[in-house]
Structure formats: structure tokens, C-alpha cells
Structure 1
Amino acid sequence: MTEQGDGEREFDIKWADDAAHKEPSARARMLAARWKENPPGPVPFRGDPDPVRHGRHRSWISTVVVLGSVAAIIVLLGYVNLRGSY
């Protein structure tokens, strides 16, 4: 099999891009097949900014846990550094 030059390869890419019929991707084919059997429900243009009230409460808890862990590590490292300097 002969090697194609850059000019010929570029022509082939242009030819493929200009094709009248393009095959959909595997994901598009999978979703189309799935949606034939079970179509998705309507989705609003913009989702509800606060769909679940307790979701925001959990984010504060996780923020406090992360910041508390960072503060505990800083204190622990300071203590270790203080004990090692004697």
C-alpha cells in the first residue's frame, strides 16, 4: 500500500467533510434507539436553581468539614514544629 502525501490526505479530509450524508456517532445512535422505546420527558430551558432545600444545607456541612480538617492539619503541623524546635 502506498503512503499518501499531505496534499492527498488533506484532499481526502475535505472530501469526507463535504460528504452529503454523515453517519451519527455511536452515542447518538444509542440515544436515538433508547429514546424510541422510552422518550425523555420535557426539560425546562433553565432548571430550578434550588430543587431540593436540604441540598444547600449539606453543602454547608461539607464546607465546614473541609475547612475544619484544614484548620486541624495546620494546628497539628504547628504543634509538631513547635515540639521539634526544642
Structure 2
Amino acid sequence: MTGKSEPDDWEREFDLRWADAAEHKEPSARARMLAARWKNSPPGPVPFRADPDRVARRRSPWMSTVVVLGCVALVIVLLGYAQTRT
């Protein structure tokens, strides 16, 4: 063993307050990639909401419930039929 004491994990842990206090923050790799891509060809405008004509019509939540309960009832009937056959 050497006379130097090794720093424990707690002392080596990254201090987030120290990082947040940094004057210069480097952008993420994705931000740098998008900035380079958009420098040559900026993206077109994107609407805030989707076009109402393109939105698919959603099913009623009751329809899903009926389908699930129907499947459960079918399984119960099939298991009952299988039990009577044996």
C-alpha cells in the first residue's frame, strides 16, 4: 500500500452544482449535428397541430371494452366445452 489515500467514490462523484455553474456549456452532439445540417439546408415550417383531415378517427373506448370482454367470454365458453368433452 502506498501512503497516499485513494479518494473514495463519494469524492470522485461528479458534482452537478459545479457543472451547472459553468459559464460555457457545450451543446450536445445532437444539437451540433442539427446545427451543421440546418446551416446548409434549414428545415421547412412545421404546423403546430396536425391537419384535421389527416387525423385518423379514433374508436370509441367502449368498443375496446366490448372486444376484450367478448374474448374473455369466448375463452370461458371454450374451456367449459373442453371440460365437458373429457
* Normalised TM-score (structure 2): 0.56
Q: Which of 3, 20, 24 does residue 7 from structure 2 map onto?
A: 3
What are structure 2's unaligned runs of at least 5 residues? none
Higher relative contact order structure (alpha carbons within 8 Å, sequence separation ≥ 6): 1
* Normalised TM-score (structure 1): 0.56
Aligned pair in 2 of structure 1 residues 85, 28: CA closer, same or farther (>3 Å)? same
Question: Is 1:17 aligned with 2:20?
Answer: yes
The number of residue pairs the alignment matches comes to 78
Partner of 1:33: 36
The structure with more helix, counted as a fraction of residues: 1
Q: Which of 47, 51, 54 does residue 52 from structure 1 map onto?
A: 54
Q: How far did 1:28 drift?
A: 1.0
- The percent of aligned pairs where both chains have the same amino acid is 38
What are structure 1's unaligned runs of at least 5 residues? none
Structure number with larger C-alpha Rg:
2
Q: Deviations over 1:15-57 (max 9, x none)?
A: 322111111111111111121122112234x31462416x22x
The list of structure 1 runs, each at least 4 consecutive aligned residues, that deviate by more than 6 angstroms after superposition, is none
RMSD across aligned C-alpha pairs, in angstroms? 3.6
Aligned pair in 2 of structure 1 residues 51, 32: CA closer, same or farther (>3 Å)? farther
